[in-house]
């Protein structure tokens, strides 16, 4: 056997092993489980037909996808200018900004979300704004509203978006931007015509990451949106832990995975056609 050909494989072996143990096997067993039923032996499509016959699950799916799209777009809209500004700062200021961006990731999502619950609720500072409480029909301000969930989720997602966009923007040759400025592009037109197209790979990967994180989240939607705005992640959790119906939970998880994969394929296709 040729040594130079086997050595690279040895290097990826740990990653491959981890991938198989932590991803391939669980996903495969979930896939198999999704075609079984707790009550009866053999393969069945019952879990999927149950899902598509349940208006609650369909509504929750639509809500999950809708919120994931909104949150992804909002996160990218915030992250791209932020990452661009960060890339233009001095090294020291960039470190400060970097820490400020990453710091929220160091605290638990639950803690952060409780912060939002207080901020968005009837005893928070925003409640003093006339009409704020009426944003939800239960007079809970932003609690129990999709807007509230979206705001809290965007706060969770923006650091991920910033990090993936910043990685790409930092790699853009600064002389391209200087050249564009000397060629008559203003700050904004340079951003639009040069930075944005070149940052597209980072934006696509950031958006994909945000979308996948958003679609699978259930802690923040649960705490802010509550039981009345269920998302698919919450149903999966409920069916797996409370109802003990693992096959149905697995079926929902597979549908969610499919939604993510389709989105990734679509965005990658879109991006590669744009970059050609």
Nearer to another protein among residue 194 and residue 212 (C-beta): 194
The number of angstroms, rounded, from the C-alpha of 41 to the middle of its chain's C-alpha atoms is: 36
* Backbone dihedral region for residue 37 (phi beyond 0: left; psi -120 to 50: alpha; all else: beta): beta
Q: What's the rounded Cα separation, in Å, for the pair 147 and 149?
A: 5
- Tell the smallest beta-carbon distance from residue 116 to another protein (Å): 11
Dihedral sign (CA 218, 220, 223, 227): negative
Nearer to another protein among residue 104 and residue 122 (C-beta): 122
Give the residues lining the site for another protein (CB under 8 A).
54-56, 59-60, 114, 117-118, 121-124, 136-140, 143-144, 173, 175-176, 178-187, 189-190, 193-194, 197-198, 222-223, 226-230, 235, 238, 242-243, 245, 275
Nearer to another protein among residue 158 and residue 236 (C-beta): 236
- Tell the smallest beta-carbon distance from residue 122 to another protein (Å): 4
Tokens found for residue 174: 């600064």
CA-wise closest residue to 48 among 252, 262, 253, 256: 252
Tokens found for residue 53: 């016959």
Gyration radius from the chain CA atoms: 22
Helices of type H across 54-170: 55-88, 91-106, 109-120, 146-170
- Tell the smallest beta-carbon distance from residue 125 to another protein (Å): 12
- Tell the smallest beta-carbon distance from residue 154 to another protein (Å): 21
Nearer to another protein among residue 190 and residue 252 (C-beta): 190
Nearer to another protein among residue 107 and residue 186 (C-beta): 186
Tokens found for residue 55: 């208006």
- Tell the smallest beta-carbon distance from residue 271 to another protein (Å): 12
Q: Which residue has the tokens 């009550």?
A: 39
């Amino acid at each position: 056997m040729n040594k130079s050909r086997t050595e690279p494989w040895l290097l990826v072996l740990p990653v491959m092993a981890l991938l198989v143990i932590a991803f391939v096997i669980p996903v495969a067993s979930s896939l198999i489980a999704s075609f079984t039923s707790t009550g009866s032996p053999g393969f069945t499509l019952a879990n999927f037909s149950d899902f598509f016959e349940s208006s609650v699950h369909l509504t929750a799916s639509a809500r999950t996808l809708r919120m994931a799209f909104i949150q992804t777009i909002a996160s990218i809209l915030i992250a791209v200018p932020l990452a661009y500004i960060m890339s233009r700062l001095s090294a020291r200021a960039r470190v400060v900004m970097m820490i400020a961006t990453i710091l929220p990731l160091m605290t638990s999502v639950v803690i952060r979300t409780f912060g939002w619950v207080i901020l968005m609720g009837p005893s928070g500072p925003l409640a003093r704004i006339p009409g704020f409480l009426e944003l939800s029909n239960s007079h809970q301000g932003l609690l129990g509203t999709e807007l509230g969930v979206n705001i809290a989720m965007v706060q969770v997602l923006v650091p991920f978006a910033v990090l993936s966009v910043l990685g790409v923007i930092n790699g853009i040759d600064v002389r391209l931007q200087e050249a564009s400025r000397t060629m008559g592009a203003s700050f904004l037109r340079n951003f639009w015509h040069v930075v944005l197209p070149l940052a597209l790979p980072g934006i696509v990967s950031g958006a994909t990451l945000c979308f996948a994180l958003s679609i699978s989240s259930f802690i923040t939607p649960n705490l802010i949106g509550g039981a009345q705005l269920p998302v698919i992640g919450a149903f999966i959790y409920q069916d797996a832990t409370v109802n003990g119906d693992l096959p149905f939970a697995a079926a929902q998880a597979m549908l969610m995975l499919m939604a993510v994969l389709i989105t990734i394929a679509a965005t990658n296709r879109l991006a590669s056609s744009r970059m050609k």
